[in-house]
Structure 1
Amino acid sequence: MKIITGSMSKIQQGSAVFQYLATVSGTLNIITSGMHYGWPSSALPKLLSNSSSISVTDNQGSWMAVMPLLGSVLGSLIVGSTVDIFGRKRTILISSLPYFAAWIMVAFARSVLLIYVARFIAGVADGWIFTAMPIYVAEISDPRIRGLLGSGVSVCWIFGILLINIVGNYLDITLAALVSSTLPLACIATFIFMPESPYYLLMRGNHEEAKKNLQKLRGLQDVDSEIMRIEQALKDQTNKSGKFLDLFTNKDNRKAVFVMLILRGAQQMSGTTAVTFYAQSIFIQAENQLSSELASIIYFSVQVTLSCFCSSIVDKAGRRPLLITSITGSAIFLFIEGIYFYLKNCTVLDISAFGLVPIIGLIGFVIIFSLGMQTIPILMLGEIFSPNVKAFALCFADIYFSVIATIVSKFFQIMKDSFGMHAPFFAFSCSCVIGLVLIVLFVPETKGQTLEDIQIYLKGNKNQTNEE
């Protein structure tokens, strides 16, 4: 399914320096979010050990892991009605404060309850940043590099997971948290100088400021044609109501919501968040030749590298081919992982000679998963929704993500404890097969299209052509 229009030829060449700077600065908080999500991988083994100053059970550890997902629901509910009032830029800046507070609380926590509270607060900030940042990046980006910048949000999140695994493995919990707390402060210090989204400014009737910011973002003085195009698109949208229920009562919005449900559902039902939370625990159970700490660092290093590669090719290869390849390969590697743990735990076969299989299987999974399923679902969140419902849509998307990821993470813990490590991997593999079918049938290609072109396609314009 490919959207074909002639809009791209009207966009002039300029400088994208400020688009890159704004994205890099804003994603410092995305890195912080990734560090909070990746924290259990290195911290839980320490907390569960006999030498821990805080007594933590396996069940409490699992709730520590998923607590940011629960907080994200509250954060998303708040930001859904405020991101169009305070703006994308202010929301991103404000999210730095709870991230910083959460790290300080973790650093000096002496009880399980305080860690719960700290990670819940971090989750609230996640709801804000993962609503505001994809919108901001999509709205400031030239269509030629929107895929690169948009998928960079996921890359930075994964980098944060890698970073906390490195920091957390070599520093104690207190010092690691204090080091991590510097990132949200760096975001405030740099992002405050970045331009607000021209879309948001035009929505608020600030034409002059919007034009000034667009000139800065495009590196051009003549942006009148793009301003007119955005104003016309906003006018078309604001003539309609912009309420949460419009996501479901409007046919075009329902299509976009359905695409979002497929992409984020398939992404999380693969078990990626559960694997992130329990990476070291998985490698400990595998009993291979590498230390669990080193294996987890290798795992997340590969994930960052391949996510960067996906970001660099997504505007050339397209969204659909990468998604299809990614989820197909993920199903295969997850199945291999399940086979290994089944043979190890449920049979009398001696598989000691195959000790590297779980590492190879998980790294194979993360390689192929990072080629599409890791980055593209978040990228497309900023592309497929119309401006008048985009804030509500990303709020709903983040709540949906949090609920699914929480369920999957608890499912992983319950299944591995009740039936063995193989059970959740077989379930995740089957989920990928179902996701593959839905992506092939219903997810459109948005490569190289303006946000307005994508809305025309979702309206079912007969002049659009669907093709692979």
Structure 2
Amino acid sequence: MTVRLINYNREYIFQYFATIAGVFSILCSGINLGWTSPFLPELLSPNSTIPTTNDEGSWCAVAPLLGAPPGAIIAALLVDKIGRKYTILLIGPWVSICFIGIAFSTSIWEITGLRFIIGSTEGALYTVLPMYIGEISDPKIREFLTATIAIAAITGTLFINVIGSFFSIFVSSLLCAVLPLIHMVGFWLVPESPYYYTKKGNFQAAKESLQILRGKQDVDQEMDAIAKAVVRQERTSDQTGLLDLFTVSSNRRACFIFIIVCMTNKFSGKNPCMFYTETIFKEASSSIDATLSVIIYCTVELVAVVIATFFVVNRFGKRMLLILSAAGCSLAVLALAIFFFLKDYGYNTELFFWLPITALVTYNIMFSIGLSFGMVTVLSELFPTNVKAKALCIADTFSVLMGTLVSKIFQIFYDQTGSMSYPFLFFSFCSFIGCILIVRNMPETKGKTLEEIQQLLIGQEQYSSELRVRHVAYVNNSFI
């Protein structure tokens, strides 16, 4: 018996194309994230053509994180005014210009400033792209499509580590400058989100967009459902404010779910594991050099995410994968903590030389099957149209702050104790708590429309009441 793990129906072809064209922009986000891995040691070396101090290098490393919040805010202001498509298209030229600027930079502060700007585009992308993909996707393949964002980010990080080991900053930057242009050409051909058109009252354009995305003419039933959903969710948009995220019970529950997934993602120890890959390999007496170890690490993660995306997500659903991912990460970093405890207290760890590498690879695999794309899929599904832009803006800023905080916590633990056992034990505990919270609070959204997810968050009785109140408004504005 053959099991169809991915839907290849003709009606999904343009959804696949639109998603690939969109996530191509995320390659540059992954490149910017991993840029310091091959090039910062070169900048810090005595023979560097761009003299750089450790302090200057540290600012260069965190520049993308500092740039993300303002980019997210700008995107949140634009996405409901000019649309999801054109907000994303505006990003490409800036990224291309910045990479060209890096190629010709003569000081570390020029590079830092340009990486800050690219970081701003990343903040904008992670605000708009999950929204766009979530709104154009058929419920049967939505989780698969949103998971491709994680694949693109990891591919970008792997790409810059590979080309960075062969080419100079100048050549690598010019190669990277081409990618946003490819994205722009592809994304120019895709339609705007039907939800955006419906939000603006342009029902005919929304219907035409949906016909392209679904590859068929008969979309009246789905269009009817989208129109009703947007009318109900908008609730007179001129009165919708930031406080609606916290005063409306369904939005509050969505925020709580996102915070759980985000905190579990960040406090599972992903960034420190990436940063200390070389150290962990050395603890296992490995002769693999630093650059190659990072390439191996990223390759394992990419393979795991691809397998999870193509063969697992649509079969098991996001909730189950998040639970397995959090539990697996907790056990993996616990194994690392135990190894370093044994080493710190003078036990002979030669018999366990394999443990750090095994635990690190296991962690990477377990993180990749759920937590790696959990935040993005949650953001694309849980928030209604009237607050989605604000929600994704705040979520991206919160995610960046938590990523910075967890890196600082690792540094403090490590500096104060001189051991990696305590921070890894802390991450194991956080992942375990996150797993319990996901079990208790995370709903399964597999196969549900965006409106059905709202119904799940609101509750059947309250949802039915709201629907009756909004029915008159829908009839008066119907496209039929």
TM-score by length of 2: 0.89
Structure 1 distance, partners of 2:73, 2:81, is 14
Give, in whole Å, the separation in 2 of the partners of 1:53 and 1:295. 26
Distance 2:400 2:459 in 1: 31
- Percent of matched pairs sharing the same residue: 40
Which amino acid in 1 is paired with 2:145? Answer: L
Q: 1:316 to 1:421 in 2, by over 3 A?
A: same
Name 1:197's counterpart in structure 2. 193
The 5-angstrom pairing of residues 17-166 of structure 1 reads: 17-166=13-162
**8 Å Cα contact 1:102-1:122 kept in structure 2:** yes
Match 1:258 to one of 236, 256, 259: 256
Query: Residue in 2 aligned with 1:218?
Result: 214
Amino acid corresponding to residue 15 of structure 2 in structure 1: Q
Q: In the alignment, is the contact (CA less than 8 A) between 1:29 and 1:184 conserved in 2?
A: yes
State the distance in 2 between where 1:235 and 1:211 align: 16
Indicate which of 357, 377, 380 corresponds to 2:378. Answer: 380
- How many residues end up aligned between the 2 structures? 451
Counterpart for residue 391 of structure 1: 389
Alignment-derived partner of residue 427 in structure 1: 426
- Report the Cα distance in structure 2 between the residues aligned to 1:175 and 1:284, rounded to whole angstroms: 31
Post-superposition offset of 1:462: 5.4
Three-state SS of the structure 1 residue aligned to 2:81 is helix
User: Which of 267, 272, 275 is the aligned partner of 2:273?
Assistant: 275
> What is the aligned partner in structure 1 of residue 454 from structure 2?
455
Q: Do structure 1's residue 361 and structure 2's residue 346 form an aligned pair?
A: no
Q: In structure 1, what is the Cα distance between the partners aligned to 2:121 and 2:423?
A: 29
Q: Which residue of the partner structure matches residue 407 of structure 1? A: 405
- In 2, distance between residues paired with 1:450 and 1:198? 14
Q: CA RMSD in A?
A: 2.1
Residues 320-359 of structure 1: pairs in structure 2 closer than 5 A = 320-344=319-343, 346-352=344-350, 354-359=352-357
The CA distance in 2 between the partners of 1:93 and 1:317, in whole Å, is 34
| Worse overlay, 48-57 or 25-34 | 48-57
1:15 aligns with 2:11: yes
Query: Is the 8 Å Cα contact of residues 73 and 124 (structure 2) preserved in structure 1?
Result: no
1:189 Cα shift? Answer: 1.6
Distance 1:284 1:91, change over 3 A: farther
User: What's the CA shift for 1:353?
Assistant: 5.7
**In 2 relative to 1, CA 49–351 (structure 1 residues): closer, same or farther, beyond 3 Å?**
farther
Letter in structure 2 aligned against 1:288: S
CA displacement at 1:78 relative to structure 2: 1.4
State which drifts further: 254-263 or 267-276: 267-276
Determine the C-alpha separation between the residues in 2 that align with 1:286 and 1:400: 35
Amino acid at match of 1:209: A
Kindly tell me: are residues 353 and 63 of structure 1, through their superposed partners in 2, closer, same or farther at Cα, counting changes over 3 Å? farther
How much has 1:57 moved relative to structure 2? 4.1
8 A contact 2:38–2:164 mirrored in 1? yes
Give the Cα separation in 1 of the matches to 2:118 and 2:275.
15
Mapped partners of 1:271, 1:170: distance in 2: 30
The alpha carbon displacement at 1:301 in A equals: 1.0
**Structure 1-normalised TM-score?**
0.91
Which amino acid letter does the alignment assign opposite residue 454 of structure 2? Q
CA deviation digits over 1:167-223, x for unaligned, max 9?
112222222222112111111121111111111111112222211111110011011
Cα pair 2:280 2:357 within 8 Å, conserved: no
What SS does structure 2 have at the residue aligned with 1:15?
Answer: helix
Q: Which residue of 2 aligns with 1:230?
A: 226
**Match of 2:5?**
none
Corresponding position: 1:290 with 2:288:
yes
2 CA distance for matches of 1:267 and 1:204? Answer: 35
Alignment of 1:178-197 (within 5 A): 178-197=174-193
In the alignment, the residues of structure 1 paired with residue 434 and residue 332 of structure 2 have an alpha-carbon distance, to the nearest angstrom, of 15
Q: Distance in 2 between matches of 1:52 and 1:349?
A: 42
Matched residue type, 2:449: T
- Which residue identity does 1:200 align to in structure 2? Y
| Closer, same or farther: CA 106–360 of 1 in aligned 2, 3 Å | farther
